[in-house]
Amino acid sequence: MYSRSAARGFLAFLLSLPALQGKIGWAVTYTSSNISALRGSTVNISCIYKYPYGRYFRPTNVTTLWFTKGEIELPVNLKHDADYAGRVEYSDGEISCNWFSCKGTCTLRIKDLTQSDSAEYKFMFITNIERGKFTGDPGVMLSVTETSPSSSSLTTSVNVRIVVVSLATVLLVFLFIRKRADREASGQGKAAEKVGEVEEEQRDRN
């Protein structure tokens, strides 16, 4: 029977094979696949990445990067992209490992968003072992807008409510005026009737 250590070693060896990379043990999971943000604001794009770890595959260094341009084999690091100069930051979390794999996190922060920043953002991590790299593809779609869709909906809703309230107010005022006019007309009719009765009584006395 195989011992546990032998089984772990064999599994780690399988995971380290180039043909299996990207299928077993390698992964990038984004916290969101679609993000909308306002022009001029700051946005955070985060992910969790994972790679195999064992006796035959034990990276000692991991480099992370985000990109929108270039191919997977030759990406343009956002930190070196002139369009994002001074506006991007990477925040790498601590990498934790167990018997079979390692896991890490990374967050991309983009400041002072412009509409030209609307693009698909992909994350790549590279280990110090040959062919030991992986890209999260497809990436995260970022849409930069002038106004927030929710804000537009709220504004429309408020406008509709104002119109409804205005119409209701006009209707109440109209009903009040009409009721008052009816009362006055009724009062005038009763007064005229009373005057007629008095005049008739005076004629009868004469």
The per-residue pLDDT for range 10-28, each reduced to its tens digit, is 444 444 444 334 458 999 9
List the end-to-end C-alpha distance of the chain, in Å, as a whole number. 139
Distance of CA 118 to the CA centre of its chain: 14
Say whether pTM exceeds 0.85. no
Quote the CA–CA distance of 57 and 69 in Å, as a whole number: 30
What is the arithmetic mean of pLDDT over 44-69? 94
**Do residues 44 and 109 lie in contact, with contact meaning Cβ atoms separated by under 8 Å?**
yes
Q: Which among 82, 83, 105 has a CA at the least distance from the CA of 94? A: 105
Backbone angles phi, psi at 165, to 5 degrees: -65, -40
**Do residues 35 and 143 lie in contact, with contact meaning Cβ atoms separated by under 8 Å?**
yes
Q: Which among 114, 13, 112 has a CA at the least distance from the CA of 57? A: 13
Quote the CA–CA distance of 18 and 69 in Å, as a whole number: 25
Tokens coding 200 = 């008739």
The per-residue pLDDT for range 113-172, each reduced to its tens digit, is 999 999 999 999 999 998 899 999 999 999 999 876 555 554 444 454 543 446 667 667
What is the topology classification, in CATH, of domain 4-146? Immunoglobulin-like (2.60.40)
71 pairs with which residues across the strands? 74
Model confidence at 72, in pLDDT bands (50, 70, 90)? confident
